[in-house]
Amino acid sequence: MVLTADEKALKDAQIKQLPTIQKLIEADGKIFHELGVLEQGQQSINTRLDRGGKRMDGIEAEVKNLKELMTKYFDRAETRHNELKGEIQNGKIQELRNEIKDRQKEEDKRNAFKRGLYIGLITLAVGTVLAVLGTLFMKVYG
Protein backbone atom coordinates (compact mmCIF):
# COMPACT_ATOMS: atom_id res chain seq x y z
CA MET A 1 0.00 0.00 0.00
CA VAL A 2 1.50 3.14 -1.24
CA LEU A 3 0.22 6.41 0.16
CA THR A 4 -0.22 9.49 -1.90
CA ALA A 5 1.22 12.82 -0.78
CA ASP A 6 -2.22 13.98 0.40
CA GLU A 7 -2.71 10.79 2.35
CA LYS A 8 0.72 11.14 3.90
CA ALA A 9 -0.10 14.73 4.93
CA LEU A 10 -3.43 13.61 6.41
CA LYS A 11 -1.76 10.77 8.32
CA ASP A 12 0.93 13.16 9.58
CA ALA A 13 -1.77 15.59 10.76
CA GLN A 14 -3.59 12.75 12.51
CA ILE A 15 -0.37 11.53 14.15
CA LYS A 16 0.39 15.06 15.35
CA GLN A 17 -3.02 15.16 17.04
CA LEU A 18 -2.24 12.08 19.16
CA PRO A 19 -1.83 12.98 22.90
CA THR A 20 1.60 11.36 23.15
CA ILE A 21 2.87 13.27 20.13
CA GLN A 22 1.34 16.51 21.53
CA LYS A 23 3.23 15.91 24.76
CA LEU A 24 6.43 15.28 22.79
CA ILE A 25 5.90 18.49 20.78
CA GLU A 26 5.32 20.44 24.02
CA ALA A 27 8.37 18.79 25.57
CA ASP A 28 10.40 19.68 22.48
CA GLY A 29 9.25 23.30 22.82
CA LYS A 30 10.26 23.35 26.47
CA ILE A 31 13.60 21.73 25.63
CA PHE A 32 14.26 24.29 22.88
CA HIS A 33 13.29 27.09 25.27
CA GLU A 34 15.61 25.72 27.98
CA LEU A 35 18.40 25.31 25.43
CA GLY A 36 17.95 28.99 24.52
CA VAL A 37 18.13 29.94 28.22
CA LEU A 38 21.22 27.74 28.62
CA GLU A 39 22.81 29.36 25.57
CA GLN A 40 22.19 32.82 27.05
CA GLY A 41 23.64 31.63 30.37
CA GLN A 42 26.66 30.20 28.58
CA GLN A 43 27.19 33.51 26.77
CA SER A 44 26.94 35.34 30.09
CA ILE A 45 29.46 32.96 31.64
CA ASN A 46 31.80 33.37 28.66
CA THR A 47 31.57 37.15 28.97
CA ARG A 48 32.36 36.95 32.66
CA LEU A 49 35.22 34.55 32.01
CA ASP A 50 36.63 36.93 29.40
CA ARG A 51 36.45 39.81 31.88
CA GLY A 52 37.88 37.56 34.60
CA GLY A 53 40.69 36.51 32.27
CA LYS A 54 41.56 40.12 31.60
CA ARG A 55 41.52 40.81 35.34
CA MET A 56 43.69 37.76 35.97
CA ASP A 57 46.15 38.95 33.34
CA GLY A 58 46.27 42.28 35.16
CA ILE A 59 46.66 40.57 38.52
CA GLU A 60 49.39 38.31 37.14
CA ALA A 61 51.24 41.37 35.86
CA GLU A 62 50.88 43.06 39.25
CA VAL A 63 52.06 39.93 41.07
CA LYS A 64 55.04 39.67 38.73
CA ASN A 65 55.84 43.34 39.32
CA LEU A 66 55.46 42.86 43.08
CA LYS A 67 57.73 39.81 42.94
CA GLU A 68 60.38 41.83 41.08
CA LEU A 69 60.09 44.68 43.59
CA MET A 70 60.38 42.29 46.53
CA THR A 71 63.36 40.54 44.95
CA LYS A 72 65.11 43.88 44.41
CA TYR A 73 64.26 44.96 47.96
CA PHE A 74 65.63 41.77 49.50
CA ASP A 75 68.73 41.92 47.28
CA ARG A 76 69.37 45.52 48.40
CA ALA A 77 68.65 44.58 52.01
CA GLU A 78 71.10 41.68 51.83
CA THR A 79 73.73 43.89 50.21
CA ARG A 80 73.23 46.56 52.86
CA HIS A 81 73.31 43.91 55.58
CA ASN A 82 76.63 42.62 54.27
CA GLU A 83 77.98 46.17 54.04
CA LEU A 84 76.92 46.91 57.61
CA LYS A 85 78.31 43.60 58.75
CA GLY A 86 81.61 44.46 57.07
CA GLU A 87 81.61 47.94 58.59
CA ILE A 88 80.89 46.50 62.02
CA GLN A 89 83.59 43.87 61.64
CA ASN A 90 86.06 46.42 60.31
CA GLY A 91 85.14 48.80 63.12
CA LYS A 92 85.49 46.02 65.69
CA ILE A 93 88.79 44.95 64.19
CA GLN A 94 90.00 48.56 64.27
CA GLU A 95 88.87 48.87 67.90
CA LEU A 96 90.78 45.70 68.74
CA ARG A 97 93.85 47.00 66.91
CA ASN A 98 93.62 50.27 68.81
CA GLU A 99 93.22 48.38 72.08
CA ILE A 100 96.27 46.25 71.26
CA LYS A 101 98.27 49.39 70.44
CA ASP A 102 97.18 51.02 73.70
CA ARG A 103 98.13 47.92 75.69
CA GLN A 104 101.44 47.74 73.86
CA LYS A 105 102.13 51.39 74.72
CA GLU A 106 101.29 50.71 78.36
CA GLU A 107 103.49 47.62 78.34
CA ASP A 108 106.32 49.62 76.76
CA LYS A 109 105.92 52.28 79.45
CA ARG A 110 106.04 49.64 82.20
CA ASN A 111 109.07 48.01 80.63
CA ALA A 112 110.80 51.36 80.27
CA PHE A 113 109.99 52.17 83.91
CA LYS A 114 111.27 48.77 85.02
CA ARG A 115 114.47 49.22 83.00
CA GLY A 116 114.94 52.67 84.43
CA LEU A 117 114.27 51.36 87.94
CA TYR A 118 116.72 48.49 87.45
CA ILE A 119 119.37 50.82 86.05
CA GLY A 120 118.78 53.24 88.92
CA LEU A 121 118.93 50.49 91.51
CA ILE A 122 122.01 48.98 89.93
CA THR A 123 123.61 52.43 89.77
CA LEU A 124 122.68 53.06 93.39
CA ALA A 125 123.97 49.64 94.42
CA VAL A 126 127.21 50.10 92.49
CA GLY A 127 127.56 53.61 93.91
CA THR A 128 126.91 52.33 97.41
CA VAL A 129 129.42 49.51 96.96
CA LEU A 130 131.98 51.97 95.60
CA ALA A 131 131.30 54.39 98.43
CA VAL A 132 131.71 51.61 101.00
CA LEU A 133 134.85 50.42 99.25
CA GLY A 134 136.14 53.98 99.05
CA THR A 135 135.44 54.49 102.74
CA LEU A 136 137.17 51.23 103.62
CA PHE A 137 140.03 52.06 101.30
CA MET A 138 140.43 55.41 102.99
CA LYS A 139 140.40 53.84 106.43
CA VAL A 140 142.93 51.23 105.47
CA TYR A 141 145.28 53.53 103.52
CA GLY A 142 144.39 56.84 104.80
Rounded CA gap, 93 and 9, in Å? 111
Residue type, 67: K
Would you give the DSSP letter of residue 1?
-
Query: How do the domains of the chain map onto residue ranges?
Result: 12-106
For 86-138, write each residue's pLDDT tens digit: 887 777 788 888 899 999 999 999 999 999 989 999 999 999 998 888 888 88
Per-residue model confidence (pLDDT) at position 107: 93
